[in-house]
C-alpha cells in the first residue's frame, strides 16, 4: 500500500473510532478531541521519522512520555485509555510503511474490530462497577454484601472496602455486580 493510502486508511480508521464507536457509546466530547489530536500528531511524527535519519526510537520515546503526561493529567476510564492508545497505534501504523503492504490495513482493522467487540454495549450488559458510600460502618463482609445486594437490586460479584470510618459511621466500598431483573436501567 502506498504511503498516501496508509494515511487515508489511518484517517478513515480514526474517524470510525472517534465518531462511530467512542462518542456514541461514551459521550465525552473532550476525548474525541484527544483521540483525533493524538492520532494526527503521531501520524505526522511517524511519517516524518520514517523519512528522516532520526531513529524511530526517539520518536516513540517522545510519544511515550507525552502519553504518560496526558494520561496522568486527568482520570480516564479503562475504556478511554483503550481508545486513546488505539488512536496512537493507528497513527504509528499509518505513518510507517511496512512490508508486506497488506499488513498495515489488517492491523488497523484488527484494532477497530477489537474496540467494536470489546466495548460493545451488549457485551456484559448487566455488569456494573460502582463506588458506594454507606451511612453505616460495616465490619462484617456478609452483612455488607447483603446490604449492597438489597440496595442495588443486584448480585454482588466482588467488593472491596476502600474506607471504613467507625467514628463517622460510614463505609466506602467498590462493588462489582450484575443487575437482576429491571433494576438500575442501563446508562
Question: Locate cell 465525552: which residue?
Answer: 28
Per-residue pLDDT tens over the stretch 30-68: 888 888 888 887 788 777 777 665 555 666 665 665 566
Per-residue pLDDT tens over the stretch 88-127: 888 888 887 778 888 888 989 999 998 899 888 888 889 8
| Rounded Cα distance, 42 and 61, in Å | 12
> How far, rounded to the nearest angstrom, does the alpha carbon of residue 97 sit from its chain's CA centroid?
27
pTM of the model: 0.66
Where in the chain are the domains? 3-118, 127-179
pLDDT of 27: 84
19-39 CB burial, b ≥16 within 10 A, e <16: eebbbeeeebeebbebbbebb
> How far, rounded to the nearest angstrom, does the alpha carbon of residue 60 sit from its chain's CA centroid?
21
**With contact defined as beta carbons under 8 Å apart, do 7 and 94 qualify?**
yes
Amino acid at each position: 500500500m502506498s504511503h498516501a493510502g496508509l494515511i487515508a486508511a489511518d484517517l478513515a480508521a480514526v474517524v470510525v473510532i472517534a465518531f462511530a464507536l467512542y462518542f456514541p457509546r461514551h459521550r465525552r466530547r473532550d476525548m474525541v478531541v484527544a483521540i483525533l489530536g493524538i492520532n494526527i500528531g503521531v501520524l505526522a511524527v511517524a511519517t516524518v521519522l520514517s523519512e528522516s535519519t532520526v531513529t524511530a526510537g526517539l520518536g516513540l520515546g517522545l510519544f511515550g512520555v507525552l502519553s504518560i503526561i496526558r494520561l496522568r493529567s486527568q482520570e480516564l476510564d479503562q475504556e478511554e485509555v483503550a481508545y486513546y492508545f488505539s488512536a496512537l497505534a493507528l497513527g504509528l501504523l499509518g505513518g510507517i510503511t511496512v512490508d508486506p503492504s497488506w499488513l498495515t490495513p489488517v492491523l488497523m482493522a484488527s484494532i477497530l474490530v477489537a474496540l467494536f467487540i470489546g466495548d460493545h454495549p451488549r457485551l456484559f450488559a448487566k455488569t456494573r462497577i460502582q463506588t458506594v458510600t454507606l451511612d453505616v460502618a460495616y465490619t462484617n463482609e456478609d452483612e455488607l454484601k447483603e446490604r449492597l445486594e438489597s440496595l442495588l437490586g443486584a448480585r454482588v460479584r466482588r467488593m472491596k472496602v476502600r474506607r471504613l470510618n467507625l467514628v463517622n459511621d460510614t463505609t466506602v466500598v467498590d462493588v462489582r455486580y450484575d443487575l437482576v431483573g429491571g433494576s438500575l436501567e442501563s446508562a
